[in-house]
Amino acid sequence: MQESADKIIDLILKSLRNEISDAEKKELDRWLEESPAYRQVYDELTNEHSLKSKLKLFGQVDSDAWWKKINEKIESPPEQAVVRPLPKKRWRYAVAVVIVMLAAAGVYYFFFAKEKPGIVKDGGQVIDSVTKIGPGGNYAVLVLADGKEIALKPADTGTIAESGNTRAMKLGDGQLAFENINPDNTAPAAANNLILKTPNGGQYSLMLPDGSKVWLNAASSIRYPGAFTAKERRVSITGEVYFDVKTFSSPFIVSILDKEGKEAGNVQVTGTKFNINAYSEESSIKATLVEGKVKVKSVVAGNSEVSRQIAPGQQAVINSTNSPGKIDVADHIDVNKILSWQRGIIAFDAAPFDVLMRQIGRWYDVQISYTNGIPNKILTGDVQRTDSLPAVLRNLQYVSGIRFRVEGRKVIVLGE
Amino acid sequence: MANNRDFDLISEFRKANPRAFKVVYDAYFPVLCYFARGLLYGSPESEEIAADSIIKLFKRSHDFESLQNIRAFLFITTRNACFNFLTYSVRENRKINRLDPSPVEDPEKLALSEMIRAEVMREIYKEIEELPEACREVFQLLYLEGKNANEVAKQLNISIVAVWEQRQEAIRLLRTILLKKGLLSILLAYGAFAFVA
């Protein structure tokens, strides 16, 4: 693989240095046409952001430490120099997707290779729409008390809306904050309910009127008043939301709404950090505590209330299908894993295939369907949320053997 | 002259001279790690695989006649180990009976593209390493670590003007256009800010 490689390396370097002749440029272009993989490499090398992050990676190897290890191994019997299979626990690293900003076009070429079974290759219009499927970002819609909707984008800062006495500000760090325009005005701002909602592929963070912070995952919402009353601080949510609640004497109550907008349960705290995962398409609502103390209550029409107190590292699971309203408490929860979405990772630990695909669907805003039923596979691994959809599917295919087809905004799971 | 030096290096390498080993190691280990990383999706096992390739190379050092041979051996050994690793770990953990190491892309092309990527990165990295020391330090902090001129001056205990001069020198010496441009834009932004303030 070397002769042609050296020629190509030379051409790419010349191109990066603006030292390439027209004839050489043509030669390089011809090579790039040969494989999507080549194109992807070239695109990444000619992208400043990507080049910079790769240069950092390149310099990261601890050469001195490895030099020592290698010398130790040379003196030991040969069988020890053989690569051993992964211990089970480290398996997930093999799945972990490289942290690379992939140019969408590059990925598309890479993924939709010529003549590969199970990969769409017909019709330019299909492929065109596919190239647009990148990861989600910091997007949300703010619904004001008067019903006015404002689309929030990552770039917006400063005043984004004014309604009644309230001015909505977007701070530099992406936090939303509200202030009273006229502090002398005693009109009850509390009556002004606001709703912040994220679409599929969106996420957003927000500072509530009491200084508490919330992070919304994709396809989630929070409804809260422009100002809290002295008696209680009540918000209601759908989807997945992480809370970092300021400690005050008035209780902070999170109502968890089901898909009809009715309260399915609530979480009551004074000040603490916790995550609620309450997507209505999942079979249960999960409240995971990071710090402090919370009381989780389920609300089921006709049933008496059930409530449980949980401690840090515990997770309350409110059953919403089999025995509605029942609360189970799980111990020793890997809280970091639960909160990984906040750090830009979709982490799945022994997740059923369809649960993982729903997460992917929400973040990449694609519909998932199955031609041969849901594969009976349990997966463990991480996906970087900055990766493009094709890159993610490519890796999933790698580790699970399951093939996918992408058509427009649909991902069709084909089976093995 | 280069050939002579290569020849000396090779003859010493064939005699298993540790210093010759170290020269070969320094030249290829980082690029092999990077290559393996590319094929293994960033798995931390990639460094272990690269190290094993180096060990295999050293154990049969008398077989090699040129640096080209050494390089080819290292890349091919590492490539094969990566594909084995992927296949084996998937089988072990997922009980899949049959697995194409790369079902999506032709594995040969994938390996070739990753090798080319790694080698180009090595050349660019070399460009930076060959900058004079002061210049390289300024580049490292200013560009790769994203510090501003003030912070760089403080950390290296030099004046801001010296930072500017070294940045200018780096722009002159570097050949990769993206790096030149990147450096230029960083300090221009800072300059504008300083001017306004």
pLDDT the model gives residue A76: 58
Tell me the average pLDDT across A67-89.
57
pLDDT the model gives residue B99: 34
Range with the lowest mean pLDDT among A16-30, A372-386, B26-40, B151-165? Answer: A372-386
Mean pLDDT score of chain A = 75
Q: Are B22 and B112 in contact (CB under 8 A)?
A: no
Is the pLDDT reported for residue A298 higher than 90? no
CA A286 to each of CA A103, A181, A256, B79, B134: distance values in angstroms, whole numbers, following the listed order: 35, 38, 10, 43, 55
List the single residue in B75, B89, B104 with the smallest CB-CB distance to A113: B104
Is the pLDDT reported for residue B174 higher than 70? yes
Bigger pLDDT: A226 vs B136 = B136
Cross-chain Cβ contact B41/A94 below 8 Å: yes
| pLDDT tier at A175, thresholds 50, 70, 90 | low
Chain A residue closest in CA terms to B129: A59
Tell me the average pLDDT across B29-36.
94
Is the pLDDT reported for residue A208 higher than 60? yes
List the single residue in A52, A63, A96 with the smallest CB-CB distance to B29: A63
pLDDT the model gives residue B108: 76
Mean pLDDT score of chain B = 81
Cross-chain Cβ contact B94/A401 below 8 Å: yes
pLDDT the model gives residue A181: 65
pLDDT the model gives residue B50: 95
Token reading at A180: 């009273």
Pairwise CA distance, residues A215 & A202, whole Å? 11
**All residues at 6 or more sequence positions from B145 whose CB lies less than 8 Å from its CB, including other chains:** none
Q: Per-residue DSSP letters for A75-99?
A: HS-GGGGSPPPPPGGGHHHHHPPP-
List the single residue in A61, A113, A399 with the smallest CB-CB distance to B94: A399
- B17 in contact with A, Cβ within 8 Å: no
Report chain B residues whose CB lies below 8 A from the CB of A111.
Answer: 104
pLDDT the model gives residue A103: 22
Is the pLDDT reported for residue B163 higher than 50? yes
pLDDT the model gives residue A133: 64
Report chain B residues whose CB lies below 8 A from the CB of A20.
Answer: none
Token reading at B138: 């300024």
CB hemisphere CA count around A66 (13 angstroms): 23
Is the pLDDT reported for residue B117 higher than 90? yes
Share of chain A above pLDDT 70, in %: 76
Share of chain B above pLDDT 70, in %: 81
Tell me the average pLDDT across A356-375.
90
Q: Exposed, middle or buried, B155 (CB in 10 Å: 0-12/13-18/19+)?
A: middle
Chain A residue closest in CA terms to B123: A13
Cross-chain Cβ contact A40/B113 below 8 Å: yes
| pLDDT tier at A128, thresholds 50, 70, 90 | very low
pLDDT the model gives residue A163: 65
Tell me the average pLDDT across B62-69.
83
Token pair 């009556």 is at which residue?
A: A191
Cross-chain Cβ contact B113/A37 below 8 Å: yes
- DSSP type of residue A305: P
| pLDDT tier at B170, thresholds 50, 70, 90 | very high
Share of chain B above pLDDT 90, in %: 36
Cross-chain Cβ contact A54/B103 below 8 Å: no
Amino acid at A317: V
Tell me the average pLDDT across A132-149.
74
Cross-chain Cβ contact A61/B119 below 8 Å: no
Bigger pLDDT: A144 vs A218 = A218
Cross-chain Cβ contact A116/B115 below 8 Å: no
| pLDDT tier at B25, thresholds 50, 70, 90 | very high
Report chain B residues whose CB lies below 8 A from the CB of A17.
Answer: 175-177
Cross-chain Cβ contact A88/B113 below 8 Å: no
| pLDDT tier at B4, thresholds 50, 70, 90 | low
- B68 in contact with A, Cβ within 8 Å: yes
Contacts from A181-189 at CB under 8 Å and sequence distance 24+? A188/A227, A189/A164, A189/A165, A189/A225, A189/A226, A189/A227
Highest averaged pLDDT of the listed ranges A161-170, B96-105, B117-126: B117-126
Chain B residue closest in CA terms to A93: B43
- A17 in contact with B, Cβ within 8 Å: yes
- DSSP type of residue A246: P
- A353 in contact with B, Cβ within 8 Å: no
Is the pLDDT reported for residue A367 higher than 60? yes
Share of chain A above pLDDT 90, in %: 20
Q: Exposed, middle or buried, B165 (CB in 10 Å: 0-12/13-18/19+)?
A: middle
Token reading at A205: 């963070």
Tell me the average pLDDT across B68-77.
87
pLDDT the model gives residue B105: 57
